Amino acid sequence: MEQKPATPKDAAAIILLDKDDKVLWARRNPSLKFLGGWHAFPGGKVEPSDAEISVKNCSDKDLERFIVAAVREFFEEVGVLLVRNGEKLTKGQRASLHDDLISGRSALAEILADWSLHIDAGDFFYTGIWTTPQFSPVRFKTRFFIARCPPKQTPYAAISEMETPEFIKPAEALERWANSEVLISPPVLISLQELANSKFNVQNSKTGSESPNVESSALNLLKKSQNSGGEINYIELNPRVICFPLKTETLPPATHTNCFIVGREQFVVIDAASKDESEQRKLFELVDSFIEKGFACRAIIVSHQHTDHFGGETALKNHLKNKFGLKVPISAHRQTAESLRGKVAIEKFIGDNETFELKDEAGKSFVLHALAAPGHARGHLCFYDEEKGFLLSSDNVVGAGTVLIAPPEGNMNDYMASLERLKNLPNLRFLCGSHGAAVFDARGKIQEYIAHRTGREKQILEAFENGAKNPAEIVGAVYAGLKPGLLRLAEKSVEAHLEKLKADGKI
C-alpha cells in the first residue's frame, strides 16, 4: 500500500531580531497537529488574499506574496506589525487592529489602506526556502525572512497557536537545544547556528557592541538553502540523536520509518530499514561523513522484526565493510533474531537494560539504555538516553499513525506493562517513535496511549457482555464507521484485548 506524500503548502516565516540581536522564537501549541510543542519562528500559510497586497521596493515579484503572508501571520501570532508608518499607532490601536484581523472584521489590505501603512521589502532579508520532508502528513514550503523588531513593539502570545514568545540570544537557544530542553526543526537550527556564528559581525558605531550583519547572515543562509535545494533529509533532535526518516512499506498513514543515529564519535544506527537503494544511499552518505571524520559505528541495530524495520541494515553493514573495511555487528533482541532467521543475520543479541557507551561530537561519553518493551512484538526494543531525557520508543508510541497489537506476536498485557514502564522512566522529557515527528511531553503522550487502550478495553468488555462474542461482532459494535480496509486490523486488535481480558479473569 503506497501512500503519496502530502503536497507542500506555501508558507512564510520571520526570524525577528531585537535591538540586542536576540532572536524571537515561540513554542507551538502542543495540541497542534504539525510540530506541536516544538519551538519555531512565527509564520504560517500563504493565503490567496496575500497576493492582493503590493509590497513597496520589491524587486523579486515572486517573493511579494510571501512577504505579505509573513507580515500577516506575524501580526496574527505575536502582535508585531512589520509595516512602514506603523510607529504612529498606539499599543491600544494595534491591539484593536489585531482583533479586527483575527476576527475577520478587516482584512490586512483594509487595515493598511485605512491607516496609510505599507509593507516595504527593504525591511525583509530573504534567507531561503525549506520544504518539510515527505514523511510528514502536513507539509510546508516555507520562505524565511530576517527582520528587525520595530521600536516600541513587544511580541506577545496573541493567539493560542504560539505560546511564550521570547527573545533569546542565538547561542543560548542552541544551548537549550543541546541540553534537549526544546525541539526545533532543521531550518530553525540552521538559522540559529548562522546567527550565533556569524563571522560578519560589525561594530555598532554608537554602542560599540558587535552586531551581526543581517544582510551577510541572510546571504549565507540563502546559499545553504540553495545548495540543498531546500530539502531536509534528517532532523537533529539534539546533538546526539539524528532522526533520518526512510521510505518503507509501512502501515498508512505513515510512509516512512525513522532510522536513528545516536552518538557521533561513537555511534549506533537503529533501524536502517529501507529496502530502497536510493533511500539507503542518502543514509550511507551521512554515515560515511561520520566515518570519514574518524567516528566509529559500534552497532547496526534492528528494533524489532516487522518488515518496515529491517531491509537496509545488511546493505549498510556490507557498505561499511566494502568501503572502509569495517566490521559492524548487526544487533537485535534474541527473539527478533529468531523471528528474522533466514532474512537477517543477527550477530549480537541485545538484552533488557543493556547499555551502549557512546560518545558525542566533542568526545564526551554518554550511555544509551536498551529497554526490552514487548507487546507490539516480542523482541521489541526501545532506547533511552536518560541524561537528556530522550526516549526512542520504536513502534510502542509513534508520532503518526496507530500502534497495532496483533496476536500471537502482539500481546496486550505485555504492551500495557511496557507503556507503564516507559511512562515512569526517570527524567523522561521527549520521545520519538519509528513513525512521525518527535513528541513534546513524552509522559503525557504515553498516558494518552494508556487511556486510549483502557477506554477501548472497557468498550470491548461491554460489547462482550452485551452478546458480541467474536472479534468481528465486537468490531461491528465498537468501531463505528471503520473503513473496510481496516476491518482486519481492528479485529486483530480486538483479539488482543480479548486475550488480555481473559488473562485478567474478566471474561
Residues in contact with Zn ion by CB under 5 A are 306, 395
Q: Which residue is closest to Zn ion by CB?
A: 306
Residues 6+ apart with CB under 8 A from 468: 474, 476, 477
Which secondary structure element, helix H or strand E, spans residue 330, and what is its range? Answer: strand 330-332
Provide, rounded to whole angstroms, the least separation between the CB of residue 343 and Zn ion: 15
Minimum distance from residue 448 beta carbon to Zn ion (Å): 19
Q: Is the CB of 240 or the CB of 306 nearer to Zn ion?
A: 306
Q: For residue 270, count CB atoms less than 10 angstroms from its CB and return exposed for 0-12, middle for 13-18, buried for 19 or more.
A: buried
Beta carbon of residue 376, minimum distance to Zn ion (angstroms, whole number): 6
Q: How far is the CB of 381 from Zn ion (least distance, A)?
A: 11
151 Cβ contact partners less than 8 Å away, ≥ 6 residues apart: 19, 87
Which residue reads 544506527 in cell numbers?
269
Q: Which lies closer to Zn ion via its Cβ, residue 374 or residue 389?
A: 374
Smallest distance, Å, CB 389 to Zn ion?
A: 24
Q: Does residue 192 contact residue 183 with C-beta atoms inside 8 Å? A: no
Taking CB atoms within 8 Å and a gap of at least 24, the contacts of 88-95 are: 88/115, 89/115, 91/152, 94/153
Between 306 and 423, CB nearer to Zn ion: 306
Query: Nearer to Zn ion by C-beta: 73 or 395?
Result: 395
> Could you give the angle at the alpha carbon of 50 between the alpha carbons of 48 and 52, nearest 5°?
95
- In order of 56, 235, 329, 433, the CA distances from 394 in angstroms are 50, 16, 20, 5
Provide, rounded to whole angstroms, the least separation between the CB of residue 332 and Zn ion. 13
Residue 394 Cβ vs Zn ion, minimum distance, rounded to whole Å: 7
Task: For the CB of residue 78, give the shortest distance to Zn ion in the complex, in Å.
Answer: 40
**Lookup result for grid cell 549565507:** 220
DSSP 209-269: -EE--HHHHHHHHHHHHHHTTT----EEEETTEEEEEEE----TT--EEEEEEEESSEEEE
Question: Closest CB to Zn ion among 214 and 273?
Answer: 273
Amino acid at 101: L
| Alpha carbons within 13 A on the beta-carbon side of 18 | 16
Which of residues 76 and 409 has its CB atom nearest to Zn ion in the complex? 409
Dist CA 504 CA 212 (whole Å) = 64
Residue 54 CB coordination number (10 Å): 14
Question: Which residues, in sequence order, are bridge partners of residue 439?
Answer: 431
Q: Which is nearer to Zn ion, 377 or 468 (CB)?
A: 377
Q: Which of 348, 446, 365 is nearest to 399 (CA)?
A: 446
261: cell is 543515529
Among residues 306 and 497, whose Cβ is nearest to Zn ion? 306
- Sequence-separated (6 or more) residues with CB below 8 Å from residue 293: none
Q: Tell me whether residue 28 or residue 306 sits nearer to Zn ion (CB atom).
A: 306
Nearer to Zn ion, 194 or 395 (CB): 395
Least spacing, CB of residue 472 vs Zn ion, in Å: 24
Cβ 250 to Zn ion shortest distance, Å: 8
